[in-house]
Each structure stands twice: as C-alpha cells, then as structure tokens.
Structure 1
Amino acid sequence: MQTFNNKTLFSLLGAGLLLTGQASFAQNADPVKLGLMLPYTGTYAALGEAITNGLKLAIEQEGGQLGGRDVEYVELDSEANPSKAPQNMSRLVKGEGVDIVIGPVHSGVAMGMLRVAKQTGAITLIPNAGLEAATNQLCMPNVFRTSHNMWQDAYPMGKVAFDRGHRRVVTITWDYAGGKEDLAAFENAFTEQGGEIIEQILVPFPSTEFQSYLTQIASLKPDAVYTFFAGGGGVSFVRDYSAAGLKESIPLLGSGFLTEGNLAALGSAGEGVLTTLHYAETLESDENRAFVSAYEAAYGETPDAYAVHGFDTGAMLAQALEVVSGDTMDRDALIDALAEVELRSPRGPFRFSSSHHPVQNIYLREIRNGRHEVVEVAHQGLEAPDADCRM
C-alpha cells in the first residue's frame, strides 16, 4: 500500500494546481468557438443571415473578443430540415468541439437540437425558434432563448383587439403547431376580455392559395381578422386580403411575423396592418438608434427582429463571458452568468425568466409609409407561461 506524507501531498496538490492553471491558460489562448446552426439556403436563408449579421456586429463592437478571447465561427447550414437536426447538432458539439451552439430558426429543427443538448449538456442559445416547449416542458439549464415564443407575441393582441371595439373575430393560420399555438394565445386573451371567435380557419401547410378562405371571411362579416402567417405566406395573405377589398372594411391584425422582414414585398397592401411584436425598427431609444445606424453601416439595410435576436445573443455572450473571465470549461459557472444577464437591448429592457425565456416588452405596431411605427407598448415586461418547466 502506498502512503503519502504531508510533503508528498502538498507536492501533488501543487502539481494539480499547476496543471489546472496550465489548462486554463491554454484555453484562454484559444478562441471561443461558436457553432451557428442556422439556415443559409432555402426559404429561411434571409433569417439565418440576419441573425448571423446581428451576432457578429455585437461581437465586433466588443473588439471581436468574448471574455478576452478571440472568436471562431463554425457555420453549419441547418437547411431548416428537422430530420437532419440531431446529426448536425452532434457534428457541432462532438465533431467540431464548439463551446456554444447558436440556433435554430425552425421549430422542428429545435426539437432535434434539444434532444442532443439534453444528452450532451451543450450550452444552446435559441435566436429564433418560437416553440413553447423549448423553455417550458423541455426546458433545461443549458438552453436559453433570445427571441420569443408564439404565445408571447400573440397574447397581447387579444386585449388590443377588444379595446379597439372588436367583439366578433375570425382567426386563420396554417394547420401546423406554430400557427395553432399563436392562434390559441390570441384567442385566450380575446375571449378572456369577452370577445368571441366566430370561426377558426386552418389552411393546409404550406399552401398560399387563400381566395376561398377570403370569400368565407367576407361572408362571415367579422369585426376583424387575426392571423399568423410568415415569410412568403405572410406576403401572399396580406396582398390577397387587400386585393379582395377586405382591408378597408375588416381590420387585419396579426402576430408581428406576418409583416416582419416583408415590408418591401408588401408595398401598399401592408399599409394600416396592425401587429404585435417585441421589436420595431422605429423604436425611439438611444440603444435602438445606435443599433440601426451601426447595422445599416455594416450591411446596407435596415435591421429587423431577426437581426436583433442575433445582436442580443452576442451581447449576452459578451456580458456573461466577461463575468467568468472567458472560461468556457466551467459550464455551470457560465450557465449561471448567462442566467443573470440583463441587457439594454435595441428592443428595450431584456432579462431572463427562471426558465431562460426573455422577459420583454411587446409593442403594437402599425405599418405607415412602409415602416413599422410603434403605436404603444401593448404589454410591458411580459413573461411567458412556464409552469411545466422542471429544471
């Protein structure tokens, strides 16, 4: 049996401390490795690009470093393909050895990513996907969302609609989980106030053939229509709604992603459309004016909510890694630092709930002269329900 005297013990402890210090020094000499699992081709490519641009802008404003370390980006095209999500996530975490994963846009991809995040403990920051489960039923300490969920942006519009005198409303979306979550949030708030949903219309996904549904809406004569469509589907719906002559007699309301990133494509058809969202490019604050100016200078276009999601992801990393002096090996300490992040964001005050979902303002916006003008704060510091979260 080997025995140790105090001198031997102190020598071993010293050697251990030396090795730990050397490992820490070696790590700090290496760049922080960020794995970006975002769509860079296909329908959602513009969203992936905007998130990436915002992220890099925030880090460039920190001198290109996080916690005193340079930054390396590993960009992987998610293709918005849920079936490839576990394999792609594993490639970033196990193959590339990234310190932090940032993604995705698509909620179906997020489900696959979350499975791997749970298995590996990889710190994962979600800069867009709005599925409620990510920070509720499937919440975990190593996962944070820097965007929104469907409920958070839709719920405030229920009270807005009622306060504007609407009592009978038709709702319409694609027949898929995200759209139905969005409609449920609006319907919950609207009926709580005393309003009535006289018809819920579900369109096969991803159809953009809306004419028969618009004829149905006209025959129902509601006080207003509430909808969730996004991307090209949002453009088609708003244009068709206007062309059918409904906009002047039946106000069109929606979650902000109906029009977000689509203003140029909507043209005059979008004028007067009301949406609720956690950001507007016209927000009057020093933080937003500085952000819009810097983004336009860097990329030649006005930022949208997707760009803000990326920017705030970079800002939270900068704040947290400063707290831990750039140490990404102590995962628990980094998670604790991320959870305590508070930002003066371009979108307004930003902090995390206990389930790592943003607590943020939701704004009522109206399209005027091709811009999202802020009408009012629809809900200040809104926290999303997370009663099923068990960390």
Structure 2
Amino acid sequence: MNNEQKKGFSRRTLIKGAAAAGGLAVASSFVPYRFAIGAQAKVKVGILLPYSGTYAMLGNSITDAMKLRIAAAGDMLGGRPVEYVAIDSQMSVPKAPQNTSKLVDKDSVDFVVGPVHSGIAAAMAKIIGKRDQPIMIVPNAGSNAVTGPLCSENIFRTSFSNWQPAYPGGTLMAKEGHKTCITIAWKYGAGRQMMDAGAEAFTKAGGKVIKDIEVPFPDVEFQAFLSEIASLKPDAVFAFFSGGGAIKFLKDYAAAGLKSIPLYGPGFLTEGVAKAAGAAAEGVRTTLHYSADLDNPSNHAFRAAYEKATGKGANVFAVQGYDAGSLIVQAMAKVKGDTGATADLIKAMENANFIDSPRGPWKMSAAHNPIQNIYLREVRNGAQKYLGIAAKALEDPAAGCKMA
C-alpha cells in the first residue's frame, strides 16, 4: 500500500468511525471539517538538531527537555497524540535546505523545532518564512537575522538573539575597570554577531578592542591564538565557544598561563561544561538568560524532573527546549488541536504565558524573540553561581524586522 492509499484509508476509516459512533459531526458548524476528520491524527513535530559532533550535547538537551514538557501534558497536543520526526543536522549549513524540505514537504510536519547553528537557522527561515505552515520554533540558534530581516509570522524563538547575552557582557567588562580587551570566537555567524555585540557595548563604555581573533569553525587548536593573546597583554578577554570546544578552550587558556587575564563571554562559554573544564573554568564570568541556581519554584521543579528523566543536570539548552515544548502545548490547547487554524495558532503563540519559566518570567517581542532577563554568573567550585541581573527584561533591537 503506497502513502496515498494509506492516507485515503485513514481518512475513510475516520469518517466511517465517526458515523458509526453516531456522532462525530463532520459537517458541524462548531467543528471545522478539516479538524473533525483529523482530530485523532497525530501532530507531527519535526526536529532539526545536532545529535553528533561538537554540539551533540546541545541537541540532546533541547530534545529531552522539550519531550519532557510535552510528556507532562500526556503526550497530547490539543487533544491529539504527538509524533516526532528527528533529523541530525550534523551542523551542516549546505544540508539545511534539503533537511528542511524533507521535514516540510515529505514528512508534512506541523512544527519544526531547530536548529542550534545560526547559519542553519537562516537557511531554514528563508524556506519556512515564505509559507503559512509549518510553524518554526528556534530553541537555540541566535542568528540576529531570524528575528530581524528574516522575521516572519510563523517563526518564533524560545532562546535568544546573539546580541542579547553578549551586549551586557561588554558593558560588564568596562564596568569592572578594564580598558582593553581581545575578542576571540569561532568564525561563523554566532561567533561574529556575539563578538560584535560585546565589542559594541565595550567601546560604547569607553573600552578599546585591540584584537579580534576568529578561529576556523569547528577547530579546537587554540595554542597559536593564545600565544598571541599573551603577547598583546589585554586587560581582559571576551570569548565565545560552546560545547566540547568550550571545554578545550578553557583548559588551553589555563594551561597557557593566562588565568591572570580575566575571561568573560556569553554564558555558553561555561554552560553545561564547567564541571568538565574543572579548575580551568574557575572565576570565569559570563552573562546569560539562565543560571542553574536561580531560586524560583519553577526552576527547582524543572531541574528535579529533568534529572529524574535523563540522569543529567539541566542547562540553558534544556530550558530553551522545555519552553519550546511549553509554547507548543499552550498554543495547541488554545486552538483545541486545530493545526489548520494558522492565524489563531500564531496569535496563541504570541500571547503564550511564560511567567513560570525556569529562567524566570519572559514574553514574546513583536519580532517573536524573548524579552528576558540576562543574568551575571561566575564559576565557583565547579558550578555556576548567580550574582545578579546584568540586564533586566532585555529586548533584542530586531533591526530590519517588518513586524517590530
């Protein structure tokens, strides 16, 4: 039996079942025809995240937490069961159009959750933003363009723009008395945008960036760059790396004898890797929209549930995935499972309630990016320590977004 026959069989069976039950009013004025015949059809959630390579930890954290949130709703979305269709992005920008088209055209998903990589996010947005469906939810990639020039009614983000966690870090360096700094990051979209944001804030506050270092992505051979930093003797270093690359950078930085030069960066530099980096991470200050030790009931409950389900401690990537799941659960409940009610579904997502997010309360901006607190953290004794709010209810500029 081919796919079309399967679809036809399922359609006829549902209609016959409704008639036999005496009741599912296919033509009822209260239930849209498209929804009545598909009320029990599964809601397809497509996932395009990395499950191999440097960022595999991020992909798994996001996925596990999103599924945890949906499982808390009985694995039902607006009264319909959920089905997941996952693809390993392999952090490949060239493969992004093909992978996106597979989920959208072949698998006919209702939602696409992903990606981690900013370049992949831009490629996905160019495809999905031209359609009414599916809805795209970005649980990590901070590409400024996604909620900037590429913003669209059917694209939402539950994470951050690259500008958001980096800008307060630049301000922090200047506030703590540093006059010069070196920026260093992988040479790709996220790295460039975060370094630009940090440098913008630092120079605006009177500081000077004496060197901007770009490391080929995803190389983790840092020795030559660290030698250059040592020779230039900056007051501070502002860095962006994440996952396995962050562990290697932190260890190499310490091994190069650079611990006397304060290290700052967006929180991904130490997020989820502080324990693995050991003493090398001690004293590193970062700014991010989450800290593991935030003292609120939702965070405590989330961390306990996540650890019970996965055997691992939750990180910011898990929080972003959890809130992506919450966004879907809330919106689907509002439209009573009718994925065809696109306008109502989008409105429900725009007005979703995140008062009880583990990261603290936040809301969607007009560009569909979180307006959220950015926290100051420092690694102490192998764990993130919350030191205060670096920027309250920070909204991304959303430059170029037609909806903002």
Shorter-chain TM-score above 0.5:
yes
Is 1:212 aligned to residue 218 of structure 2? no
Paired residue type of 1:276 = T
Residue correspondences, number: 377
Q: Distance in 2 between matches of 1:76 and 1:135?
A: 23
Shift in Å, 1:17: 5.1
Q: Aligned runs of 1:314-329 on 2, under 5 Å?
A: 314-329=325-340
Q: Distance in 1 between matches of 2:214 and 2:96?
A: 27
Paired residue type of 1:350 = W
Which residue in the other structure is 1:345 paired with? 357
Shift in Å, 1:20: 6.1
Paired residue type of 2:252 = D
What runs of 5+ residues in structure 1 fail to find an aligned partner? 1-13
Paired residue type of 1:280 = S
Q: Distance in 2 between matches of 1:256 and 1:208?
A: 19
Shift in Å, 1:384: 0.5
**Could you list the per-position Cα deviations for residues 272-311 of structure 1 after superposition, in whole angstroms to 9, with x for gaps in the alignment?**
1111111111111111000000000111010111111110
Tell whether the 8 Å contact from 2:373 to 2:394 is kept in structure 1 after alignment: yes
Is 1:272 aligned to residue 286 of structure 2? no
Shift in Å, 1:34: 0.8
Moved more, 154-163 or 110-119: 110-119
Q: Distance in 2 between matches of 1:143 and 1:272?
A: 37
Which residue in the other structure is 2:200 paired with? 188
Shift in Å, 1:369: 1.2
Which residue in the other structure is 1:151 paired with? 163
- Which residue of 251, 263, 281 corresponds with 1:252? 263
Paired residue type of 2:56 = A
Q: Distance in 1 between matches of 2:59 and 2:244?
A: 16
Shift in Å, 1:190: 1.1
Shift in Å, 1:22: 4.2
Q: Distance in 2 between matches of 1:41 and 1:168?
A: 37
Shift in Å, 1:252: 0.6
Q: Distance in 2 between matches of 1:104 and 1:204?
A: 20
Paired residue type of 2:180 = R
Which residue in the other structure is 1:42 paired with? 53
Relative distance call for 1:156 and 1:65 in structure 2 (3 A) is: same
Tell whether the 8 Å contact from 1:342 to 1:352 is kept in structure 2 after alignment: no
Which residue in the other structure is 2:95 paired with? 84
**Could you list the per-position Cα deviations for residues 303-332 of structure 1 after superposition, in whole angstroms to 9, with x for gaps in the alignment?**
111111110011111111121112111111
Is 1:168 aligned to residue 184 of structure 2? no
Which residue in the other structure is 1:375 paired with? 387
Q: Distance in 2 between matches of 1:216 and 1:81?
A: 30
Paired residue type of 2:363 = R
Is 1:138 aligned to residue 131 of structure 2? no
Q: Distance in 2 between matches of 1:80 and 1:172?
A: 21
Q: Distance in 2 between matches of 1:203 and 1:78?
A: 22
Which residue in the other structure is 1:123 paired with? 135
**Could you list the per-position Cα deviations for residues 161-194 of structure 1 after superposition, in whole angstroms to 9, with x for gaps in the alignment?**
1121111112112233321111110111111111
Tell whether the 8 Å contact from 2:69 to 2:322 is kept in structure 1 after alignment: yes
Paired residue type of 1:66 = L
Relative distance call for 1:192 and 1:124 in structure 2 (3 A) is: same
Which residue in the other structure is 1:241 paired with? 253
Secondary structure of 2:48's match? strand
Secondary structure of 2:214's match? strand
Which residue in the other structure is 1:302 paired with? 313
Which residue in the other structure is 1:67 paired with? 78
Moved more, 28-37 or 343-352: 28-37
Q: TM-score, normalised by structure 2?
A: 0.89
**Could you list the per-position Cα deviations for residues 45-92 of structure 1 after superposition, in whole angstroms to 9, with x for gaps in the alignment?**
221111110001111111221222221111222222222222221221
- Which residue of 349, 354, 364 corresponds with 2:376? 364
Q: Distance in 2 between matches of 1:67 and 1:163?
A: 48
Tell whether the 8 Å contact from 2:154 to 2:346 is kept in structure 1 after alignment: yes
Shift in Å, 1:21: 4.0
Tell whether the 8 Å contact from 2:26 to 2:36 is kept in structure 1 after alignment: no
Tell whether the 8 Å contact from 1:135 to 1:386 is kept in structure 2 after alignment: yes
Which residue in the other structure is 1:333 paired with? 344
Tell whether the 8 Å contact from 1:282 to 1:371 is kept in structure 2 after alignment: no
Q: Distance in 1 between matches of 2:106 and 2:343?
A: 22
Secondary structure of 1:298's match? helix
Is 1:56 aligned to residue 64 of structure 2? no
Relative distance call for 1:209 and 1:78 in structure 2 (3 A) is: closer
Tell whether the 8 Å contact from 2:115 to 2:121 is kept in structure 1 after alignment: yes
Relative distance call for 1:153 and 1:19 in structure 2 (3 A) is: closer
Shift in Å, 1:27: 2.2
RMSD: 1.8
Tell whether the 8 Å contact from 1:328 to 1:334 is kept in structure 2 after alignment: yes
Shift in Å, 1:16: 6.1
Moved more, 377-386 or 316-325: 316-325
